[in-house]
Amino acid sequence: MNATRIIAIRHGETAWNVDTRIQGHLDIPLNDTGLWQARQLARALADEPVAAIYTSDLQRARTTAQAVADATGAPLTPEPALRERSFGHFQGRTFAQIEAELPEDALRWRKRDPHYAPEGGESLTALRTRIDNTVHRLAARHPGELVVLVAHGGVLDVLYRLATGQEIQAPRTWQLANAAINRLLWTPQGLSLVGWADTQHLDNAARDETTA
Instruction: Please give the DSSP secondary-structure letter assigned to residue 210.
Output: T
- Spatial CB neighbours of 114, under 8 Å, sequence gap ≥ 6: 123, 124, 125, 168, 169
Q: For residues 182 and 37, what is the distance between their CA atoms, to the nearest angstrom?
A: 15
Of 132, 181, 141, residue with least CA distance to 2: 141
Q: State phi, psi for 144 to the nearest 5 degrees.
A: 80, 5
Q: For residues 36 and 39, what is the distance between their CA atoms, to the nearest angstrom?
A: 5
Binding-site entries for substrate: 10-17, 60
Catalytic-role residue among 11, 25, 142, 201: 11
Give yes or no: 11 in active site.
yes
Of 115, 87, 114, residue with least CA distance to 102: 87
Q: For residues 196 and 202, what is the distance between their CA atoms, to the nearest angstrom?
A: 14
Binding-site entries: 10-17, 60
181 strand-pairing partners: 198
Question: Distance from CA of residue 160 to its chain's centroid?
Answer: 11
9 strand-pairing partners: 150
Catalytic-role residue among 25, 79, 84, 201: 84
Q: For residues 86 and 210, what is the distance between their CA atoms, to the nearest angstrom?
A: 38
Amino acid found at 150: V
- Catalytic (active-site) positions: 11, 84
